[in-house]
Amino acid sequence: MREKEIISYPDLGSIYAGDYYPNIPVKEYIHVDQQIPAGQPVFDIRDYGAVPDEFLNTEPIRRTCEACRDAGGGVVLVTGGSYRTGTVRLYSNTTLYIADGSELIASRNAEDLISRIEGTQDFGKESSGGAFILAVGEKNITITGGGRISGAGEWFVHEPRKKPLLTPFETTMLPTREQAKTPAINTVPGSIRTFYRDRIRYAEDKYGEGLPVLRRPSAMVWILRCEQVTVENIILHDSMCWTLHPEASDHVLIRNVVIDDNRHVANTDGIDLSGCRHVEVNHCFVSCADDGLCVKNPVYTHRTSEDIFLHDCTVSTVMNAFKIGTGTRHDIRKVRVENCDFILPDLFPGSVSGISIESCDGSVVEGIQIRNIHMTNVQCPLYILLNRRNEARIPYSEDPESLYWGGDIGQITINHLTAVGAELPAVLTGYTDTAKSGKRIRKAIHDLAISDYQVIYRDNQEVLHLPETFEEFLTDYPESNAHGDVDACGLWIRHADRVILNNIQVTPRSMNQRPIIRKYDVS
């Protein structure tokens, strides 16, 4: 007897105007006439009992993938319609080929997707949260075909407090620094942070309203400790959390991929590269509700991340378009980002940031090259922050070189950044602190070169709450709209050494009275 789907939270699943980006040029990225790879055995899921109807196909698809594995590899073919299923596990030398017009759809039953998989222990939230499409410790994996993988994201998060905001607001206002240090940061009336947070759908009870914590998978596609991975010519749709997550993997190629998520389902990052090496992301369109293109290296990878090239992509997100962080325990080196558009033309406020480079937990972040980036309706064009959040819980030390005091950010080059419709000044800062002995600890960002930086601010109104002194941002979660106001409208730079600025052009609001650039403790 075939298994019928049980929906974990049947009262959810609503979709509202503005949840999805309406103008993704899919035909520019997805080629519908792609041929099935020749010279390999083909394992059609229909031959193992899969049927595109209301029943689950978990077992037929599992048998198909295992038959492909046992034969030494081949093509797992998904064609002939839409197939709802629980977790799909891929093995070495497998091509998952989803044909144009066909798709794999995630079950809306959390039990079908959340399970502890052997080999995933100690790998963060995914080790218990599970994934829809999963490969662990495999080699030579390809996901392709021109079809679609769908995650049923709205079915694992609560309803939003407010519907998507489709019209511009008149005034830009941040929470004050005092509010930012309390739970009130997300509920300050009139602040741009509250504007977008009210519209995000969370699985948790974010506002103390007595809602239950919902169970959901932690990734839609999770590639863990794999080598030689290709994801191309595929649509990833409606993720329930992180969309495409290569982790501790080497030699990964992601190209001609469309990510089309609900832009209000919390934590739906587009592409998360955690502790990966030798990665290229080329010509992708990413529309999501959290970080679009993200490089991180959290506690549990235990390896350096390096040689990452992201180029010719378009990102539309309410959060950060490109981000290094937040999980930053191990080093991140040699990252290039080129020829990308970061846009949010139809939701308000704009994206939280265009470029965020962060080290909070001890990572050395260096050798970052960014060029030819255009932004439209991005609140903060550039955000660089070094602090000592210390997610790894390194014990206290008087030694300023101890990871207790954080890592390092240096050797950053940004060339030809243009932005229109900006809201907030760029913030670039390290920190100073005092050890228990009374010794001053200074952790500066350094060796920054920014050239051909042209930003035009949206000419609306602004409400400022400038403090008498600007506190250090020592252990807070880094986000450009959590600092409170600063006394510059274009670039605010503090605790920075060897900074070169060339051809900086900033057009502020008409009502602006702050200087364009302010530098503190900068050498």
pLDDT (tens digit per residue) in 351-410: 999 999 999 999 999 999 999 999 999 999 999 999 999 999 999 999 999 999 999 999
44: its two tokens: 């059609």
pLDDT at 115: 66
Helix (H) or strand (E) holding 60: helix 58-70
Instruction: Check pLDDT > 90 for residue 259.
Output: yes
Q: What is the average pLDDT score of the chain?
A: 95
Of 161, 261, 265, the C-alpha closest to 214 is 265
Degrees, nearest 5: CA angle 37-40-45:
85
Backbone angles phi, psi at 384, to 5 degrees: -125, 120
Cα 238 → chain centroid: 14
54 versus 275: the higher-pLDDT residue is 275
Residue recorded with tokens 């979709």 = 15
% of the chain with per-residue pLDDT over 90 = 94
Q: What is the DSSP string of 454-508?
A: EEEE--SEEE----SS-----SSPP-GGGS---S-SSEEEEEEEEEEEEEEEEE-
The percent of residues above 70 in pLDDT, for the chain, comes to 97
Size (the chain), residues: 523
Q: Is 171 strand, coil or helix?
A: strand
**Is the per-residue pLDDT at 297 higher than 80?**
yes
* pLDDT value at residue 126: 47
Window from 7-11, 41-45, 114-118, 132-136 with minimum mean pLDDT: 114-118
Residue 91, amino acid: Y
128-179: pLDDT as tens digits: 578 999 999 999 999 999 999 999 999 999 999 999 999 998 999 999 999 9
Helix (H, G, I), strand (E, B) or coil at 374: strand
Q: Which two tokens stand for residue 75?
A: 């093509």
Provide the H-helix boundaries in 98-146: 126-129
Neighbours of 75 (CB within 10 A): 21
Amino acid at 332: I
What pLDDT score was predicted for residue 286? 99
pLDDT at 116: 53
Predicted TM-score (pTM) above 0.85: yes
> Does position 344 have pLDDT exceeding 60, yes or no?
yes
